[in-house]
Amino acid sequence: MTEPLERQAIISGAAQSQIGRRLHRTGLDLTIEAALRAIDDAGLTVADIDGVSTYPGMGGVFGGATGAEVHDAAAALAQLARRRRRRPAASSGRSTRQCSRWPPVWPGTCWSTAPSWRAAAGPCGPAGAAGAGRCRSSFQFLIPYGVTSAANWISCYARRHMHDYGTTREQLGAIAISARTNAATNPQAIYTDPMTMDDYLTVRMISDPFGLYDCDVPCDGSTAVIVSHRDFAPDVRHGVVHVNAMGTALRGRPSWDQFDDLTTMAMRDSAASMWERTELTPADVDTAQLYDGFSWLAMAWIEALGFCGKGEGGPFVEGGARIAPDGDLPLNTWGGQLSGGRLHGFGFLHEGVMQLRGTANLQVPDCEVAAVGAGGGPESGCLLLTKGIR
Amino acid sequence: MSGPPPRFISPHAEGEFYWTSGADGVLRLQRCGACGRFNHPAGPVCPFCHSRDLAPAPVSGRGTIATFTINRKEWIPGFEPPTCSRSWRSTRTRRSASGPTSWAAASTT
């Protein structure tokens, strides 16, 4: 196999800002806080940074997200540096936000951040597109039918998964309860009180089959990672995390509701493309940090990445033992977005890095390979990370 | 369900026929003249064969429910919960299990 391009990359730094509900801080403020911490974590200075990528990136704000505009972040960075050796390259990451924008900045170093997400109440998702009284584009075929939120769109996939494979709410609940249990060890987590299956099943319904605890919890916060060329690995003062492979493919129709299979999403394709780029296999993975914007998405990622067969995600997670920190596949050890907070994908990457460094709050013993997946619907990207250079 | 106010939809050029077709009681979906496949939402090019020979074609309105959700939260005014939204595949367009889906909504009360 030709060495994939991404194997030149290491994650030399990772950090998060303050995380919480209604912090009344701006997305840019939190982003810069996370970035400076990550730069320091990597043992670098701002002047060492060659490029910037943010999510949502350009256009910055949509439906409930208040991320940092990439140019604002780059400008703040330049001012902080006082002097500019070169113009920071700026780009926005989106569907494959953890992966796609890295190659242009190699062999230098860049930082990449996730947005903060507005915790204030209000219409989220495409409902925001209807704020002016009209909806356009493909949303015109969703919103008039009451299909206004990602909760509606994704619940329809979960329902079809239940229909085809017999998946149950209790099985989805195992993902939510496991996340809650793990979150208790994370000082930055939003929900930390213990949750029982009865709590899960009796909480108010949002969009059947999703109740409140199937939906992630909005929060304010930002995550930053520093990506460097592996030649710099000897200079990293803590454990080096190596990118073994990334997956970004989308082989079906890029649509929330016109995908060819209503029991999986684009993660099917990004996961497949990731395994095509590595000699490692699902059996080599010591922990999985998988997007759980809604509980079912984590189950779909587990299936997509081949930790079980298609349609077997329900029995795989049932009871929670297999996905517990001491189970076969420790899942979302930071509490996931369901309890840790909606850091829009980057919380999983941060936790994967901490696990491989051996510094996670809830550390998986002898953790050497981590699978990280982010996204739902047509948006999807995943990474296979290893401890040290392979 | 009271449904959306009239000003709610601002159809794009390719999609306007979908909303006005109901005036004569016939549901129409976009169909490709080159490969014969239906495409929804309508677009400027066939996503399957890239032909631009596209036109609205009548369908029966009968179909199979692909999936559904019962929504319990009011996301935007005009949709007081509970509402039931169903994704369905038209019988005529269902050339395969992965044919285009359309949405339907109904009150559950």
Give the pLDDT confidence of A217-255 residue by residue, as tens digits: 999 999 999 999 999 899 888 999 999 999 999 998 888
- Of residues A164 and A147, more confidence is placed in A164
Do the chains contact at A141 and B103, CB–CB below 8 Å?
yes
Single out the residue of B20, B18, B51, B21 nearest to residue B36, CA to CA: B51
Distance CA A155, CA A34 (A): 33
Q: What residues in B contact A152, CB-CB < 8 Å? A: 69, 71, 75, 85
The stretch A59-75 carries a mean pLDDT of: 62
| pLDDT attached to residue A51 | 78
Residue A358, both tokens? 């051996």
Reported as type and span, the H/E element at residue A11 is strand A9-16
Contact residues, A window 121-150, toward B, CB-based 8 Å cutoff: 123-125, 127, 130, 133-138, 140-149
Of B5, B9, B69, the CB nearest to A155: B69
- Residues A277-320 have pLDDT tens digits of 999 999 999 999 999 999 999 999 999 999 999 999 999 999 99
| Rg value, chain B, Cα | 15
Q: Residue A166 — pLDDT band, cuts 50, 70, 90?
A: very high
| pLDDT attached to residue A309 | 98
Cis peptide leading into residue A56 (ω within 30°): yes
Residue B93, both tokens? 């367009």
Q: How near does any CA of chain B get to the CA of A152, in Å?
A: 7
Phi first, then psi: give them for residue B27, nearest 5 degrees: -85, 135
| pLDDT attached to residue A258 | 86
- Residues A250-262 have pLDDT tens digits of 998 888 888 889 9
Give the residues across from B70 on adjacent strands. B84
| pLDDT attached to residue A120 | 30
Q: Residue A75 — pLDDT band, cuts 50, 70, 90?
A: confident
Sheet with A205-207: strands ordered across = A210-211, A205-207, B63-71, B83-90, B102-107
Task: Outline where DSSP puts E strands in A216-330.
Answer: 223-229, 241-247, 287-290
- Residues A147-163 have pLDDT tens digits of 888 999 999 999 999 99
Reported as type and span, the H/E element at residue A112 is strand A110-113
| pLDDT attached to residue A287 | 98
Global ipTM: 0.85
Cα torsion at B87, B93, B99, B104 (round to 10°)? -10
Bridge-based pairing state of the strands A210-211 and A205-207: antiparallel
| pLDDT attached to residue A87 | 45
Q: Which residue of A has its CA nearest to B11?
A: A136
Which one of B37, B67, B107 would you mutate to disrupt binding with A, by most A Cβ within 10 Å of its Cβ? Answer: B67
B39 close to B48: Cβ distance less than 8 angstroms: yes
Single out the residue of A381, A351, A357 nearest to residue A55, CA to CA: A381
Of B4, B15, B69, the CB nearest to A207: B69
Distance CA B87, CA A380 (A): 23
Which one of A137, A139, A149, A152 would you mutate to disrupt binding with B, by most B Cβ within 10 Å of its Cβ? Answer: A152
